[in-house]
């Protein structure tokens, strides 16, 4: 029997939770919304709020320990994305960007470079840009495609 697909959401500051719930509902997929703070989730038997302890990377560690080849992870956290890609999971950013074994190395290197430039004061300000309607649309399409890819994946 095939392991059912679970969508894991790195929920702290995730702007596309409602979109995840819609797609998961359409396909009948379980969703684990993981956070270390109070977070409301819809009253739905397929959606579970997972509250983890406070601390750096506790939610990331919880997700990374469970995500596998039949699962989808939603995160903007590049190190978490890398860990989940290595575990075989489908991994998407809230903008719809798909992290793959081929792309995650360069993505990690770019993240590390930007962190270094910010830390040394070469780059100031910044942070993630605001979500646009086109980002939400791209995310919905990417999530739908991820579900379809997993359904076609041999067991």
Closest CA to 98 of 129, 114, 107: 107
Q: Does residue 150 carry a pLDDT above 80?
A: yes
**What's residue 107's pLDDT?**
62
Predicted confidence (pLDDT) at residue 66 exceeds the cutoff of 80: yes
Residue 25 located in a structural domain: yes
Query: Phi and psi dihedrals of 147, rounded to 5?
Result: -65, -45
Cα 88 from Cα 67, distance rounded (Å): 8
- 1 domain residue, yes or no: no
Residue 19 lies in a domain: yes
Return all residues near 146 (Cβ < 8 A) that are at least 6 apart. 72, 90, 92, 98
Q: Which residues of 110-138 are buried (b: 16+ CB within 10 A; e: fewer)?
A: eeeeeeeeeeeeeeeeeeeeeeeeebbeb
- Whether residue 19 is predicted with pLDDT greater than 90 in this model: the reply is yes
- Beta bridge partners, 48, equal 32
Q: In this predicted structure, what is the pLDDT of residue 136? A: 93
Are 59 and 34 in contact by the 8 Å Cβ rule? The answer is: yes
Domain of residue 70, CATH code: 3.40.50
Residue 133 lies in a domain: yes
The residue with greater pLDDT, 128 or 91, is 91
Q: Provide the pLDDT for residue 104.
A: 63
> Does the residue 20 lie in any domain?
yes
Quick: pLDDT tens for 103-123: 766 666 555 555 656 677 766
Place of tokens 């939610």: 59
What domain range is 97 assigned to?
6-152
Which residue, among 43, 34, 67, has the nearest Cα to 82 in the 3D structure? Answer: 67
- Do the domain assignments include residue 118? yes
Residue % of the chain over a pLDDT of 90: 66
How many of the other CB atoms lie within 10 Å of CB of 144?
Answer: 14
d(C-alpha 72, C-alpha 55), whole Å: 24
Mean pLDDT of all residues belonging to the chain: 87
Model confidence band, residue 33 (pLDDT cutoffs 50, 70, 90): very high
Rounded Cα distance between 111 and 105, Å, is: 10
Residue 4 pLDDT > 70: yes
Q: Which residue in the block uniquely carries the two structure tokens 């903008």? A: 95
- 97 pLDDT more than 60: yes
Q: Is residue 95 part of a domain?
A: yes
What domain count does the chain have?
A: 1
State residue 100's pLDDT score: 92
Write down the residue that tokens 């360069």 correspond to: 106
Residue 116 falls inside a structural domain = yes
70 confidence band (pLDDT: 50, 70, 90):
very high
């Amino acid at each position: 029997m095939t392991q059912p697909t679970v969508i894991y959401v790195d929920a702290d500051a995730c702007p596309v939770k409602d979109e995840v719930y819609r797609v998961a509902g359409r396909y009948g997929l379980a969703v684990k919304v993981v956070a270390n703070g109070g977070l409301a989730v819809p009253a739905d038997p397929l959606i579970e709020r997972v509250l983890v302890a406070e601390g750096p990377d506790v939610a990331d560690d919880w997700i990374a320990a469970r995500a596998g080849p039949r699962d989808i992870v939603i995160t903007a956290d590049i190190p978490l994305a890398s860990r989940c890609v290595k575990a075989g999971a489908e991994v998407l950013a809230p903008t719809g960007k798909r992290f793959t074994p081929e792309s995650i190395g360069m993505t990690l290197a770019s993240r590390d470079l930007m962190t270094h430039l910010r830390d040394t004061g070469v780059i100031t300000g910044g942070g993630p840009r605001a979500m646009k309607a086109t980002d939400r649309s791209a995310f919905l399409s990417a999530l739908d495609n991820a579900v379809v890819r997993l359904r076609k994946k041999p067991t």
